Structures are given as structure tokens and as C-alpha cells.
Amino acid sequence: MDHFGFKKGEIYAEDLAVGEIAEQVGTPFYCYSTETLIRHYNVFCQAFTGHDFLLCYAVKANSNQAIIKTLADQGSGADVVSEGELRRALEAGISASKIVYSGVAKTEKEMAFALGQDIFQFNVESEPELIQLSRVATDMGKVAAISFRINPDVDAKTHAKISTGMSENKFGIPWTRAREIYADAAKLPGIRVQGVDLHIGSQLTDLEPFAEAFRRIVTLVEDLRSDGHDISVLDLGGGLGIPYDREETKPPLPLEYGEMVKSIVGHLGCRIIIEPGRLLVGNAGILVSKVIFVKQGEDRKFLIIDAAMNDLVRPSMYNAYHEIVAVRESDTPTVPYDVVGPVCETGDTFARGRQLPELNSGDLVVIRSAGAYGAVMSSTYNTRRLIPEVLVKGADYAITRARPDYEDIIGLDKIPQWLQ
Ligand code: LLP
């Protein structure tokens, strides 16, 4: 459930008319709902009531300081994958003791920074990474608490580009070699093995791949314990999907997911960490855009809006479906539109043949479920400015990232002396 709905004939974000924000902020912009975010956080935590549990928000989904701070205030930890994300999490007030550092290859500098902060855990993904971490930690007189990310060779049955748990994927260490690698780690200075980690993919709409991977992990933990390792942490990654198309897809509820997790791994007595990203922020955000032109092609009608693939790349990159809704309610018959942006690529298409009421230049539309992997994946392609982000709370809103000036973008380039 989210807090973007129709009131008085138009879409509201909580208690604010989206049209009114658009008038003040200009379009396009991302709009997030505090209530929705907090609700998703609480629903997820409730699914693990009674268990030693830490939610580590996957900052990559939406790393705006205001979003992280809203979750930090609820008690959230963070899953980060770069020094930049780690800095963002710390700056938003997440304690280092609640931060796990994932990612397929951390540099020496990144390791040193994280060790200096005394983060809760490194999720190590390879032997070279382990050896480097041991060296950096020893040089600093520190001990890195680690889990290995296990690649369980399970098909997450999601889009190939966001599927990470099969042996052909670059992630983690093969589960078949895990015992040997844990044994090596136990002998290394500067390393303290504390757990097991995995993440098999994103936007999973079925519990079975999770369950299959978690069962594999249970066997592994039992083996590791019998080898003498003290395994007290299970980081089970993120990945639970959301209903982008509310008519079609009904992913499992967090409560069902929590029951499944507890029934499979509960008896191990480990602290459970989950790293959800999309589930918390995906439906807590919309992209608000204005129709520039309506263009009648040979046999298709194009709705050209002022948002484009550089603002929200998911449809172009993953063929992702996002609901598109006219901001003003209308009872006129719908017509099929190809909803496109102004960027010079045919791939700059949000939807084809989408049924919408008759729209005109200046009308507003909302692209739903845009809170996760939206703003964070945006770019300035076509020298388009990054778009503002706005956080709504009740009848208040704040701009949490302003629209930059053109000078801010062009000024990043420097003319070499020989051209001056
Ligand atoms: N933990 C790790 C180690 C991850 O790599 C990810 C996402 C998550 C947690 C959070 O997964 P979530 O709960 O959000 O599914 N850009 C793509 C999604 C990429 C996901 C990358 N890893 C998209 O727009 O669909």
C-alpha cells in the first residue's frame, strides 16, 4: 500500500496535490512519501518479530540523504557497496555498528575507510579480496569481521541483468568451495569470520528460489560449525519484489517471506540480516512529468513527456513495466499512447500502447513505483539536468535534491590549456 491516491479528482502525495508541488518545483521531479516509506519499513520488521533481526537498507536503491535519514530514525541499518554509499549512510546517522559492506570488489582505500569506521561486517566475495582485506586490516592494527557471500547456484527466476546467484554470475564464492575458503580465512591475521551471506537477485516474485538458496545455506552453516567456525550471523540479502503492475503481479508479502525465512533458518540461532532496497522505497516514490507534445505518427500516437530515459532508465534498460497515470481523473474514453521522452534514442520509451485518457500539452502524468533505482541511476545524457527529488510528509514537502543549473553540469568540463 502506498500514499499516492486520488482525492478531489487528482493525485495526491499524502495530503498534498501533486499538481501543486509541480507548479512550485517544476517538472519532471521525483516525489517520495514519508508515510509509505515508514510503513514499508515497519511491515518488514514485523515479519521478523521475536527474532534477533537487523534490517540493513540497501542504500543503492535510493541514496538520497533524506530517505536514508528517514529510515535511520526508524532504527534501520544499511547495506552499502562503495565508500560513497558508506559515507552517505554514516552522514545520514546510521551507526557503523549497523552497516554491512557488500560489493564484488572493494579497493584498498575503500577497505581502509570502512575499517577505520569499525563497521559491523564485510561481505567478502573472493579469495583475492580476502587476502587484501587481511593485509589492509593488519597494517591498520584492526580486525575485519567478515561473512563470505556464497553463490548458491540457484536461479532467482528474475530478469537476467539482476539475477546474481547462479554459478555463471560474477558474484560470491561457489558454495561447493566454501568450506575450503572458510578454513583459509580462519588462518589469516586481521580477519574474524562471523557469518554467511548471500543475495541471489532482485525483484523476485516467488519464494521458492529464496527457499532453495536458504536451504543450501543451512547445510553449509552446519558443515562450517562442525569444522569449528563460530557462525552467528546470516545475511540473506535483499530481493523481494514489488507489484509494478498491480493487476498482474502479486509478489509474496513481507510477512510470508519472514515466515519462510524463519521456518528454514530460525533453528540455527543466528542473527538474521536482510538487505531490502526496492521493497522499502520502490512504491514510496513516483516520477511526475508533464506532456510536452502529443504527436500523431503514421499509425501510433506518441505522448512526448518531459521525463526521459536519463531520469528513469528502468524501462529502456530492463524493459521494465511502470504504471503511468494521468494526474487529473477523467471519465473520457482511453486511447493507446506510446509514452516517450525527448532523448534521441528509440529506446527512450516508457511504454507502448498504454491506455490513458485523452491528454494535451501541459497535462501532468505520474510514473509509479519509481522510488527505487530511479534517481540513483539517472544521468545527464543529452545534457539534461538531473531532476529534483521531493520528500512529502503529511501536508509538508521539502526539496531534498535541487535541480542543478546548466553551469553546474558544463562547468565540470575543463578546457585543456592548449585549446585556450
Ligand atoms: N543486497 C545486495 C548485495 C544487492 O546487490 C542488492 C541489489 C540488494 C541487497 C537490494 O536488492 P532489492 O531488495 O532492491 O531487490 N537496478 C536494478 C536492480 C539492481 C539490484 C542490485 N542489487 C533495477 O532497477 O531493477
Digit-by-digit pLDDT tens for the chain (420 residues) are 799 999 999 999 999 999 999 999 999 999 999 999 999 999 999 999 999 999 999 999 999 999 999 999 999 999 999 999 999 999 999 999 999 999 999 999 999 999 999 999 999 999 999 999 999 999 999 999 999 999 998 888 888 888 888 888 899 999 999 999 999 999 999 999 999 999 999 999 999 999 999 999 999 999 999 999 999 999 999 999 999 998 888 899 999 999 999 999 999 999 999 999 999 999 999 999 999 999 999 999 999 999 999 999 999 999 999 999 999 999 999 999 999 999 999 999 999 999 999 999 999 999 999 999 999 999 999 999 999 999 999 999 999 999 999 999 999 999 999 999
Give the separation between CA 377 and CA 277, rounded to whole angstroms: 14
Distances (CA, A) of 16 to 11, 31, 170, 266: 9, 11, 44, 43
Ligand 1 center–CA 376 separation, angstroms: 12
Give the separation between CA 76 and CA 69, rounded to whole angstroms: 9
CA-nearest residue, atom 8 of ligand 1: 238
Q: Report if pTM > 0.85.
A: yes
CA-nearest residue, atom 6 of ligand 1: 238
The topology (CATH level 3) of 4-31+282-410 is Lyase, Ornithine Decarboxylase; Chain A, domain 1 (2.40.37)
Ligand 1 center–CA 15 separation, angstroms: 30
CA-nearest residue, atom 24 of ligand 1: 373
Ligand 1 atom nearest the C-alpha of 373 is 24
Ligand 1 center–CA 182 separation, angstroms: 26
Cα 172 to chain centroid distance, Å, stands at 19
Helix axes 178-187, 208-226, angle to 10 degrees: 50
Catalytic residue list contains 344: yes
Give the separation between CA 328 and CA 359, rounded to whole angstroms: 10
Ligand 1 atom nearest the C-alpha of 239 is 15
Enumerate residues lining ligand 1, CB below 6 A. Answer: 58, 60-61, 79, 102, 162, 199, 202-203, 237-239, 275-279, 314, 318, 372-373
Ligand 1 center–CA 333 separation, angstroms: 38
CA-nearest residue, atom 19 of ligand 1: 162
CATH architecture assignment, domain 34-281: Alpha-Beta Barrel (3.20)
Distances (CA, A) of 44 to 53, 54, 63, 305: 11, 11, 19, 35
Q: Where are the domains of the chain?
A: 4-31+282-410, 34-281
Ligand 1 center–CA 407 separation, angstroms: 33
- Cell 552517505: give the residue: 88
CA-nearest residue, atom 23 of ligand 1: 373
Q: What is the pLDDT of residues 33-76, one digit of tens each?
A: 999 999 999 999 999 999 999 999 999 999 999 999 999 999 99
User: Which among 275, 281, 322 is the best mutation to test ligand 1's pocket, defined by most ligand atoms within 8 Å of the CB?
Assistant: 275
